Structure 1
């Protein structure tokens, strides 16, 4: 009987330890007038800046920082060069990390409005080839480097993946995936739960759900999903976005 109790007790301790290890409580770790940084996993941080719009008011815009050892990769810049400079200082000073690369997931300013700040620091910047084309058409500052279809970037001993899966919010929207934390940065291709359709001025609404289906199929192990605006969540954001734009 005593032996059975010992086994049950040991299993309980292991179970609790496992749950504790797998559970990360998100916390806001930096806040200023222009930038908020929230840690959402051991190696991943959402950066949030704000864009003043005519139709939707002062909109919070998300990006992502992923880290391994003393290296990071940034997905999407803050909206302005000033808030991007602030993010760069925070990564260098608080994470004590080098920025290996910044990736713009589409050509709007809530994705690459601060790209010139990163370029000015000689931080390698990347965008899908159409992102550079569309940005230049609008006379925006654009990433220095382009890629076709997909990109693999090294961060510490890990890697971050970037891919184009089809049109949706824009003709050039890409997503980023960090396998170590099983986290997907969907940018403006993905919507937070209960969100409306948002700005559709450059959208391909008919292709949007099929594009997200491809993302869902490509990354079956994703646990955390970060949209371009609003609250992050899990795989439910993929299904919500698909259903939102289905005919």
Structure 2
């Protein structure tokens, strides 16, 4: 019994040390820019998560960086939001195929604006399945944009390798159809244009429901309490502070 106890203790100790080292490695991950061209930047933010950033020239806000997310498991990926146009999407698709050596299982636009689905046709040209909230599909059709192929009414769970992604509609804010994407294995939340970077202004409000915006983000915060990395539609990513900042920003508007 004594030898069995010692062996068991040794196994448990090794398991604890390995898990501790793995957790420490994840927490110490240093984000790095791993690809850059005139129209596309890709930044690795965790072991299996990457932000893709393209740029939209606007009259009111200048040349705006527009974020999307790539998540990877095994040799598969899922992409949230397209680059701003088909040319940028084609470049992103080629990079994923040739650099990550991965199949793209799905593209998920998180709302109907062109900084979310402006490059959708390029994904369709590669026979990559697209999924979106039912209202996103309706609004894309109304505005004569490329229409996502598959709809969901509340939430969507898709597999990527042996992991999963969750896309969910939790209320109106930036638009009537804005959804968020979550990668539970790395606690990464893609908030899209529903969430603001720290110190950002309110941005474009032409399709917004400003009165519900704070309450919607409060629901997001409650839904994903373990989130570690939060990515807004524009600007710098961060942590849960982006949720709190966005809540406060639009609570002021309600007064």
In structure 1, C-alpha distance between the alignment counterparts of 2:23 and 2:161, rounded to whole Å = 26
| Aligned counterpart for 1:221 among listed residues 222, 226, 240 | 226
Counterpart of 2:239?
234
TM-score normalised over the length of structure 1:
0.93
Q: Which residue of 2 aligns with 1:38?
A: 43
Unpaired runs of 5+ in structure 2?
Answer: 1-18
Name the counterpart of 2:110. Answer: 105
Q: What is the deviation of 1:19? A: 3.3
Kindly provide the CA deviation profile for residues 40-80 of structure 1, in whole angstroms up to 9, marking residues without a partner as x.
00000000000011100110000000000000000000000
Question: 1:23 Cα shift?
Answer: 1.1
Query: What TM-score does the superposition give when structure 2 sets the normalisation length?
Result: 0.90
Question: 1-side partners of 2:22 and 2:117: how far apart?
Answer: 41
Aligned to 1:60: 65
Runs of 4+ in structure 1 displaced over 4 angstroms? Answer: 14-18
**Displacement, 1:22?**
2.2
Q: Which of 121, 128, 132 is equivalent to 2:133?
A: 128
* Structure 2 residue aligned with 1:169: 174
- The change in CA–CA distance for 1:20 and 1:80 in structure 2 (over 3 A counts) is same
Aligned to 1:11: none
* Counterpart check, 1:74 vs 2:79: yes
Counterpart of 1:138? 143
Shift in Å at residue 146 of structure 1? 0.8
Give 1:122 shift: 0.7
Alignment length (residue pairs) = 237
Among 202, 206, 210, the residue aligned to 1:197: 202
1:187 to 2:192 alignment: yes
Counterpart-to-counterpart distance in 2, 1:103 and 1:25: 26
The C-alpha deviation readout for 1:211-239, integer Å capped at 9, x for no partner, is: 00000000000000000000000000000
Superposed displacement of residue 18, structure 1: 5.2
Structure 1 unaligned residues grouped into runs of 5+: 1-13
CA contact under 8 A between 2:26 and 2:46: conserved in structure 1?
Answer: no
- CA displacement at 1:142 relative to structure 2: 1.6
Counterpart among 153, 157, 170 of residue 148 in structure 1: 153
Counterpart pick for 2:123 among 93, 102, 118: 118
Deviations 1:69-126 (A, max 9, x none): 0000000000000000000000000000000000000000000000000011110101
For the aligned residue pairs, the C-alpha RMSD in angstroms reads 1.7
